[in-house]
């Protein structure tokens, strides 16, 4: 038996850039092991599996897999899945979809501007910001950069945890190479082994240049990480020196990989606390086809 799939590139207005995503729009009949095997076969950062709600086309169940594990939530698969469903006729644009993911319902607004589809997800969950982030020396060792290049490290997450490392320049971001033994010592056992490192202006309206390593998920480097950008904009807006209002960032990622991506991130702060975060970007259609699932898939 075969299952239909769509491939889209997320956070880019042009195909063959951004972060590639495979979407199976009707995954009914697949086991968890089969879904993991299919995700491993596509070998994208994530693959999504949609289980339609026959009572409401705008509220499907969605499961997200990296090549190595299932995720409770991720940004680019959420936006990409919603846009793929609209692109391929499940709903017209503009549309609001509620994707039932492992973390709960996620709202995604999809619109079409001329020939380009745009998706924006909104989260109202609390930003987690535990203490205990790696030292500048440990972060520098894991990224193979000079400790003087590390300006700060901190943990934050909204649905998926990240270790954030601010570096002093875009050149330092580009120079970074994962040192796996150093990563295993300092980051792998920590609150989050996924390291998102960046440089740029951290004030409202700032532009950042970023990369992300997630070997614990089977992703050596991610071209665009929406969930990290949601956590980052929320964490920065949460700081006491930032007043109430909207706090926006624009993040470029995937440039060094030849997969340039642009992510727009927004935090809304009211009464001294962040009440919601959103990430948005363009999505481009790439391909449609069918894939067969292994009859007796297993984890490797």
Q: Which residues are catalytic?
A: 46
- C-alpha 168/C-alpha 172 separation (Å) is 7
β-pairing verdict for 261-270 and 195-200 = unpaired
Q: Which of 2, 50, 52 minimizes the C-alpha distance to 22?
A: 50
Three state DSSP letters for 56-95: CCCCCEEEEECCCCEECCCHHHHHHHHHHHHHCCCCCCCE
């Amino acid at each position: 038996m075969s299952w239909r799939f769509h491939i889209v590139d997320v956070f880019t207005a042009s195909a063959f850039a951004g972060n590639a995503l495979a979407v199976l729009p009707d995954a009914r009949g697949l086991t968890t092991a089969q879904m993991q095997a299919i995700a491993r076969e596509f070998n994208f950062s994530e693959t999504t599996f949609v289980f339609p709600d026959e009572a409401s086309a705008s509220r499907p169940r969605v499961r997200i897999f990296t090549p190595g594990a299932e995720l409770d939530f991720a940004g680019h698969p959420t936006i990409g899945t919603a846009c793929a469903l609209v692109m391929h006729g499940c709903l017209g644009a503009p549309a609001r979809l509620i994707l039932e993911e492992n973390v709960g319902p996620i709202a995604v607004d999809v619109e079409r501007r001329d020939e380009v589809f745009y998706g924006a997800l909104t989260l109202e969950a609390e930003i987690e910001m535990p203490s205990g982030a790696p030292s500048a020396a440990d972060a520098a060792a894991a990224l193979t950069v000079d400790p003087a290049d590390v300006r700060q490290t901190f943990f934050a997450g909204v649905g998926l945890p990240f270790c954030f490392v601010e570096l002093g320049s875009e050149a330092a971001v580009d120079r970074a190479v994962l040192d796996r033994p150093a990563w295993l010592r300092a980051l792998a056992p920590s609150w989050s082994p996924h390291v998102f490192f960046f440089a740029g202006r951290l004030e409202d309206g700032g532009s950042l240049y970023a990369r992300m390593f997630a070997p614990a998920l089977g992703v050596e480097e991610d071209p665009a990480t929406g969930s990290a950008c949601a956590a980052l904009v929320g964490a920065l807006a949460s700081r006491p020196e930032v007043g109430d209002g909207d706090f926006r960032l624009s993040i470029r990622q995937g440039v060094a990989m030849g997969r340039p991506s642009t992510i727009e991130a927004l935090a809304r702060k009211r009464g001294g606390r962040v009440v919601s975060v959103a990430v948005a970007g363009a999505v481009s259609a790439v391909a449609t086809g069918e894939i067969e699932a292994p009859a007796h898939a297993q984890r490797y």
